[in-house]
């Protein structure tokens, strides 16, 4: 039996503690928990040589933040992002043993891979409450049709043993319900929290020059923040930028983020004749300052749960252009707080960015409307309290509160 006189023990499970949005969400939740009511622990896989979103260096830094905040955490080398039958079985068994030893009241899993192994292990270890935050989904945009179908079937089965699920936007919840994953009564919607005031300060003045960039004075700076992976749509953005450059030669593109597509994107920019106007700056820890250097933020994703970087750019009052996919339309209202375009459409993307360039007063109005859209509901404390409310409801449902 769980001792309800003490704080409820919560174990968060995620494959990677990097600088990505899902990891930031997990870390901020664990650190922000009301310790009088919840005792958090974090279990994460080893990043190894994988360098997207800061790689092993980010993992070490995030672990340091958890230690400093007094949050226990454990690295599980067998818990990897990639499919690996042997390692996956090892990770499943290690998680079962961990849950049996720790006897948590709640296991909260994050992202698809950790969600599958973590929930199965928690169910087998008879953990009373299972909570899952998908942080988007892998039903399209990530893998081929057969693998995507397999993941969908797995998610449908696991949803039956999950006490509560948390989507980042209404659109993400509806996407799951349309795919018959989960039920409306157990699916909460909680936006991923950010440090709103830090991003507002960074965007409070005129665009500032960013150290390490090559653009000339007077350039119109377009930027994007995210993994350099196919699902983020950077290739489409570079193609759109090349179209844009013909009519607006003073534009310059900043890509913030690391990933295995870096060399391929550089080659694409060179083949389109725009390499000298594209800066691939790698992973940065000064994202607010990076956004402050941009006059337009673009998120060309092919699949996106919410888009943490999008919310940050909006908080910084930057006019945004984004794909009409996933949870993005729930955040950006077309032509009121930003511009939405079809995913994968370089011509439409170029036309939308051109409109921002050619209508500066309107673009500033869009940026200010975007900033006002990101209100206190997107703050970190609001996110953590809302998640804890989900826990409270789930604990009541299983008779522990």
Residue 171: predicted pLDDT: 83
How confident is residue 217, by pLDDT bands cut at 50, 70 and 90? confident
Per-residue model confidence as pLDDT tens digits over 35-89: 999 999 999 987 654 455 555 666 677 888 999 999 999 999 899 877 788 899 9
pLDDT value, residue 1: 44
Would you say the CATH fold of 196-376 matches that of 8-193+379-397?
A: yes
With 60 as the cut, is the pLDDT of residue 205 above it? yes
Structure confidence at residue 212 (pLDDT): 75
Least confidently predicted of 3-7, 84-88, 194-198, 299-303: 3-7
Q: Please compute the mean of the pLDDT values over residues 143-161 and round it to a whole number.
A: 82
Q: Which is more confident, 129 or 179?
A: 129
Write out the two tokens for 255: 């890509």
As a whole number of angstroms, the distance between CA 169 and CA 400 comes to 28
Q: Which of 141, 143, 120 is nearest to 130 (CA)?
A: 120
The owner of tokens 């090892």 is 90
First and final C-alpha spacing in the chain: 13
Segment 23-27 shows an average pLDDT of 91
Provide mean pLDDT across the span 213-226. Answer: 90
Between CA 173 and CA 179, with CA 177 as vertex, the angle to 5 degrees is: 120
- The CA distance from 39 to 37, in Å, is 7
Q: How many residues does the chain have?
A: 401
Distance CA 290, CA 213 (A): 10
Average pLDDT over residues 120-137: 93
Average pLDDT on 356-381 reads 94
- Quick one: fold of 196-376? Rossmann fold (3.40.50)
Q: What's the rounded mean pLDDT across residues 310-332? A: 94
CB crowding 105-124: b at 16 or more within 10 Å, else e: bbbbbbbbbbbbbbbbbbbe
The DSSP secondary structure of 69-130, one letter per residue, reads TT-EEEEETT--SS--HHHHHHHHHHHHHHHHHH--SEEEEESHHHHHHHHHHHHHTT-SEE
| Cα 81 from chain centroid (whole Å) | 15
Q: What pLDDT is recorded for position 143?
A: 54
Q: What is the Cβ-side half-sphere exposure of residue 26, based on CA atoms within 13 angstroms?
A: 35
pLDDT above 50 (res 177): yes
- Tokens 């950010």 belong to 194
Question: Is the distance from CB of 353 to CB of 223 less than 8 angstroms?
Answer: no
User: Is residue 138 pLDDT above 80, yes or no?
Assistant: no
pLDDT band at 2 (very low <50, low <70, confident <90, very high): very low
Domain map (residue ranges) of the chain: 8-193+379-397, 196-376
Which pLDDT band holds residue 164 (cuts at 50, 70, 90)? very high
Query: At 7, is the pLDDT very low, low, confident or very high (cuts 50, 70, 90)?
Result: very high
Share of residues in the chain with pLDDT > 70 (%) = 92
Instruction: Write down the mean pLDDT value for the chain.
Output: 89
Question: For residue 239, what pLDDT band results from cuts at 50, 70 and 90?
Answer: very high
The highest-confidence range among 56-65, 162-171, 346-355, by mean pLDDT, is: 346-355
Residue 326 tokens read as 């996933």
Scored b (16 or more CB within 10 A) or e, 47-65 reads beebbbbbbeebbeebbee
Q: Is the pLDDT of residue 326 over 70?
A: yes
Which token pair is 18? 């990097």
- State the Cα–Cα distance between residues 192 and 74, nearest whole angstrom: 23
pLDDT category at 279 given cuts 50, 70, 90 is very high
Gap between the Cα atoms of 308 and 21, Å rounded: 6
CATH topology of domain 8-193+379-397: Rossmann fold (3.40.50)
Q: Which residues, other chains included, contact 208 with Cβ-Cβ below 8 Å and sequence gap of 6+? A: 289, 292, 293
């Amino acid at each position: 039996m769980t001792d309800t006189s003490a704080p409820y023990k919560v174990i968060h499970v995620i494959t990677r503690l990097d600088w990505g949005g899902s990891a930031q969400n997990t870390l901020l939740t664990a650190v922000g928990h009301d310790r009088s009511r919840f005792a958090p622990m974090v279990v994460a896989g080893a990043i190894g040589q994988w360098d997207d979103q800061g790689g092993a260096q980010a993992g070490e830094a995030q672990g340091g933040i958890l230690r400093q905040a007094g949050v226990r955490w454990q690295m599980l080398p067998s818990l990897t992002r990639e499919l690996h039958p042997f390692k996956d079985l090892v990770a499943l068994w290690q998680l079962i043993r961990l849950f049996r030893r720790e006897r948590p009241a709640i296991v909260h899993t994050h992202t698809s891979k950790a969600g599958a192994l973590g929930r199965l292990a928690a169910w087998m270890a008879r953990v009373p409450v299972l909570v899952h935050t998908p942080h988007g989904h892998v039903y399209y945009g990530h893998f081929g049709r057969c693998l995507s179908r397999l993941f969908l079937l797995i998610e449908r089965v696991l949803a039956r043993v999950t006490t509560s699920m948390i989507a980042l936007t209404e659109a993400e919840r509806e996407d799951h319900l349309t795919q018959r994953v989960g039920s409306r009564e157990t699916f909460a919607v909680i936006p991923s929290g950010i440090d709103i005031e830090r991003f507002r300060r960074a965007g409070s003045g005129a665009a500032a020059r960013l150290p390490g960039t090559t653009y000339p004075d007077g350039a119109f700076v377009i930027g994007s923040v995210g993994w350099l992976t196919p699902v983020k749509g950077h290739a489409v953005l570079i193609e759109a930028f090349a179209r844009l450059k013909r009519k607006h030669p003073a534009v310059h593109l900043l890509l913030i983020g690391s990933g295995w597509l870096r060399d391929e994107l550089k080659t694409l920019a060179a083949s389109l004749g725009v390499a000298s106007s594209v800066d691939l700056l790698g992973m940065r820890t000064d994202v607010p300052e990076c956004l402050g250097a941009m006059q337009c933020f673009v998120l060309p994703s092919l699949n996106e749960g919410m888009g943490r970087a999008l919310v940050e750019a909006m908080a910084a009052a930057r006019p945004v252009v984004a794909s009409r996919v996933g949870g993005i339309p729930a955040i950006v209202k077309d032509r009121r707080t930003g511009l939405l375009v079809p995913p994968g459409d370089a011509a439409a993307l170029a036309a939308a960015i051109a409109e921002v360039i050619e209508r500066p007063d309107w673009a500033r109005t869009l940026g200010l409307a975007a900033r006002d859209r990101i209100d206190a509901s997107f703050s970190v404390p609001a996110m953590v309290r809302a998640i804890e409310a989900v826990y409270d409801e789930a604990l009541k449902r299983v008779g522990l509160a």
